[in-house]
């Protein structure tokens, strides 16, 4: 199923501690291959500068009733490995999204590509939902054609930092490339943000952001961004999420991914039979 989701889930496994039911080890952790950078080595503030601070190479961003905050990589990429260790806020966070994602919306407004990791806020006693999504050539603009997958986590993402990443190659992201029209090929920047999405984030908008609990805080550290930038020569070799140069998963990585999907996947766009899959050909495999 998917490189980006594969990378995400295998990276979850590498950072879990004190979990209730452990997934099998993937054996190889992609994060071990790529160096850590400080925030200012690879990123800059995008919006809400008064709602972010940088300390010891880590970044804290927060949302209150006046503003949220966001950051952006200093250069665009045409493929690569993009990761960060993230710690979320506990308690009531309904309506709030903490995100780490790729996008070219500023370069292609109204016709952009995007690859998302989004943590959907929650109410007391309920787990965060981690949502991945992909938009291609404007499928996130106007008539939405999303590729949402949602997971409940087997660890508490508010107690410690856990590493999350997107792996994007010219052949795969969260699904294999079957046509140029349904696969992101244009360069994208790396972004992170925290913002109010009360209209849909928590149980389809049933629960809204409650600013009695502000500020809502997201912490980022251990930034990684490695791959072919938009300025790299054509011979630049895409990164791999496995020990193999081809990027093909090992059997152990595949079993770990399957375990996570069978135990913690709560929504898969390909299995939603109410949707029209004519624009998502990767679902027919």
Is 282 known to be catalytic?
no
10 phi and psi, to 5 degrees?
-65, -30
Pull the structure tokens for residue 20: 């209730």
> Which of 21, 106, 114, 148 does the annotation list as catalytic?
114
Query: DSSP 3-state helix, strand, coil percentages of the chain (rounded to 5)?
Result: 20, 35, 50
Annotated catalytic residue, options 21, 118, 172, 203 = 118
Q: Are 260 and 9 spatial neighbours (Cβ–Cβ below 8 Å)?
A: yes
Tokens standing for 63? 């949302």
**114 has catalytic annotation:** yes
- CA dist list (Å): 4 to 10, 83, 149, 164: 10, 11, 11, 10
Q: Where are the alpha helices (DSSP H) in the chain?
A: 3-15, 39-42, 251-264
Strand ranges for 88-241 from DSSP E: 96-103, 114-120, 129-135, 149-152, 162-168, 189-196, 216-229
Pairing of strands 69-73, 189-196: antiparallel
Cβ-proximal residues to 208 (8 Å cutoff; 6+ apart), any chain? 94, 95, 198, 202
Which residue numbers are catalytic?
A: 114, 118
């Amino acid at each position: 199923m998917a490189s980006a989701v594969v990378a995400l889930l295998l990276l979850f496994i590498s950072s879990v501690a004190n979990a209730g039911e452990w997934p099998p080890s993937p054996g190889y952790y992609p994060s071990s291959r790529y160096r850590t950078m400080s925030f200012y080595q690879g990123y800059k503030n995008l919006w809400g500068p008064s709602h972010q601070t940088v300390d010891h190479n880590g970044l804290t961003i927060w949302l209150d009733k006046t503003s949220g905050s966001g950051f952006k990589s200093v250069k665009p990429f045409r493929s690569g490995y993009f990761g960060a260790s993230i710690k979320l806020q506990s308690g009531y966070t309904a309506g709030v999204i903490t995100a780490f994602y790729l996008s070219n919306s500023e370069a292609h407004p109204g016709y952009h590509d995007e690859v998302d990791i989004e943590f959907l806020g929650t109410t007391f006693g309920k787990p965060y939902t981690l949502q991945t999504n992909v938009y291609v050539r404007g499928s996130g603009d106007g008539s939405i054609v999303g590729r949402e997958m949602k997971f409940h986590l087997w660890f508490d993402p508010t107690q410690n930092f856990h590493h999350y990443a997107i792996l994007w190659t010219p052949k795969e992201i969260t699904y294999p490339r079957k046509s140029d029209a349904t696969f992101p090929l244009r360069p994208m920047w790396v972004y992170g943000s925290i913002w109010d999405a009360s209209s849909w984030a928590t149980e389809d908008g049933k629960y809204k952001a409650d600013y009695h609990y502000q500020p809502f805080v997201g912490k980022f550290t251990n930034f990684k961004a490695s791959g072919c930038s938009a300025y790299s020569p054509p011979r630049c070799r895409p990164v791999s999420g496995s020990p193999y140069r081809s990027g093909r998963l090992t059997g152990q990585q595949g079993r770990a991914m399957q375990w996570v999907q069978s135990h913690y996947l709560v929504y898969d766009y390909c299995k939603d039979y109410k949707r029209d899959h004519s624009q998502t050909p990767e679902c027919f495999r």
